[in-house]
Chains A and B, each alone.
Chain A
Amino acid sequence: MPFLIVSPYLIHLCLFVLFPVVFSIFLVFHKWNIISPMEYVGLDNFGRLFADRLFWKSLWNTFIFILVHIPLQIILSLMLAYFINSKIKFKSFFRSAFFLPVVISGVVITILWQQLYGLESGVINQGLMAIGLGRIEWLTNPKIAMVSIAIMATWKNMGLYVILFLVGLQTVPQSYYEAAEVEGANDWQKFRFITLPAINPTIFMVVILSTIGGFSLFIEPYIMTDGGPLNTTLSAMLYIYKQAFGYYHMGYSTTLSLFFALIIMSVVVIQKAFVESKEY
């Protein structure tokens, strides 16, 4: 009886998780375009990977995205959460307003921001012109385009992290703040010496969540820039997608996926190890 009850999941697990993992290890040693017969190529796919400058560029781009996105995300969402957590009215309105982009499809957000980032008619540049600053080539300047996508992603996910920080902030006992006030601590000192240490676990959780999310960057550059200008917004996931479903290089794209997944897992493992070494 227990076996029957778990069988829907077991079948699913074998078909869509275990088999794919095993099959991808097999595919790595083959050249295959799905139609013609598979061809054993030994370690060729790895040789190609290490020589593939565009793949390394896409990895680099993904890291740039993460390096801009995470600090921005943590500072801004922690700040907003800290403000909401003070004694103010309309808390739930602010929370919901920040949260709205979280529930909306990345497709909508990207189409929308593509317009906001427009060079001539974009609302952001119009605003910059109105206050006397120059236009910014948000999506056409190779140095800026990935930063623009990171800003948009930060905006989209902010609400979730505000909520996570709020949950963290509410675990800090009110009496700590009262004691600090008696001692004459100012707001910054209270934040620096009471709040920050108490929400350290939340900060690490946010880092890990947004790292995993950041590595999956795909639909934003797919819609906004198609990887351009000069391949500066080509994310690793977008490159793998093109190799697999644009050129049908099944063996090679699987090699890239596996390699990329190993990088993701090692980064997350390192982050988690770092957290655990800090605690207790």
Chain B
Amino acid sequence: MNLGPKKFLLYAILIIASLTFLYPFYWMILASVTPEENIGKLVFSPQGLTLSHYKDMIVKIPIWSALFNSVLVASLSTFGVLVFGSMTGYALAKMRFKGRNLLFFAIIFTMTLPFQITLIPNYILMVNFKWVDTLTALIVPALNSAFAILLFRQAFMTIPDDLIHAAKVDGCGELRIIFQVLWPNIIPSIITVAILTFMTSWNDVLWPLIVIREEGLMTMPQLVTLFAVGGRAEAQLGVKLASAVLLALPIIIAFIFLQKYFIQSMASSGIKT
């Protein structure tokens, strides 16, 4: 390969830049298996190997129940957003009813509303519903998303009405039309919404910090946060980093296999906002 000086510089910059983005994760994973007294010396090469941080972490915090809670909350939220989002999106795209424009306006309004306005009243609502310290508080408010509705609405608008008429002639109800006839035609939108919702739910930490106090009900990011800021890690670096690795790992693995979808989904969410 013949590189001119300009090309060489270009590659050098890009390679250094990607190392800046990848190296910290390399360091974190390596540090999580390095004996505590050597972490300070760790730069590139391994300084001994131990699994004790992971063993300590399992003893100190209920990490498995947190993992279970996170998977449950993220899955159910994603399921709700997919189902309710396509129902509302379908109604807006293909049905005529009084107040349709008002509903559409309300959804746009919701999207421009800073979440800071609804945060505290929503907490008070949870207190009154007696949902504080239940997973319901994490799941139910996350079952709908204005962004998903708008995305599904757009996807359904591209589908010709004839397809829906034909299904109606065959005796399909609206729900069957949405989920059996139309869903197979909008797979890319479904993937986008699923990835964004799951990832948002998995990484969310502010709302769990507010409504969950009991350790056994915490999600991963919340448990890891409290472990890191509270005295529980007893200033032990390795254990803190081990819990951070465990929190990041599922998303890193998903990202490695679904890079293209992750990038497309996030880019489309950015462009639409």
The interface of chain A, by Cβ under 8 A from chain B, is 1-3, 5-6, 8-10, 12-13, 15-17, 19-21, 23-24, 27, 34, 80, 83-84, 86, 88, 92-108, 111-113, 115-116, 120-121, 123, 126, 155, 158-160, 163-164, 167, 205, 208-209, 212, 215-216, 218-219, 222-223, 226, 237, 240-241, 244-245, 250, 253-254, 257-258, 260-261, 264-265, 268
Give the size of the chain B interface in residues (CB under 8 angstroms). Answer: 84
In the assembly, what is the distance between CA of A23 and CA of B127, in Å?
A: 14
In the assembly, what is the distance between CA of A6 and CA of B28, in Å?
A: 46
The interface of chain B, by Cβ under 8 A from chain A, is 7, 10-11, 13-14, 17-18, 20-22, 24-25, 27-28, 31, 39-43, 84, 87-88, 90-92, 95-97, 100, 103, 106, 110, 112-125, 127, 141, 143-144, 149, 174-175, 199, 202-203, 205-206, 209-210, 221, 224-225, 228-229, 237, 240-241, 244-245, 247-248, 251-252, 255, 259, 262-263, 266-267, 270-271, 273
B122 touches A107 (CB 8 A): no
Best-surrounded residue of A13, A120, A167 (most CB of chain B within 10 A):
A13
By DSSP majority rule, is chain A's interface helix, strand, loop, or mixed?
A: helix
16 residue pairs A–B, Cβ–Cβ below 8 Å: A6-B103, A9-B87, A9-B88, A21-B113, A97-B22, A100-B252, A104-B252, A105-B202, A105-B205, A105-B251, A107-B221, A120-B40, A164-B270, A245-B210, A254-B121, A264-B114
Indicate whether A84 sits within 8 Å of B14 (C-beta atoms), given known contacts A5-B90, A107-B224, A159-B21.
yes
A240 touches B205 (CB 8 A): no
Contact of B205 among A3, A21, A107, A163 (CB under 8 A): A107
Contacts of A27 in B (CB 8 A): 120-121
Contacts of A215 in B (CB 8 A): 114, 116
In angstroms, how far is the closest chain A Cβ from the Cβ of B106?
A: 6
A103 touches B262 (CB 8 A): yes
In the assembly, what is the distance between CA of A97 and CA of B16, in Å?
A: 11
Contacts of A244 in B (CB 8 A): 119-120, 123
Contacts of A100 in B (CB 8 A): 21-22, 25, 252, 255
The 10 closest A-B pairs by CB, nearest first: A121-B40, A20-B121, A97-B18, A2-B97, A20-B118, A105-B203, A12-B144, A9-B88, A261-B114, A2-B95
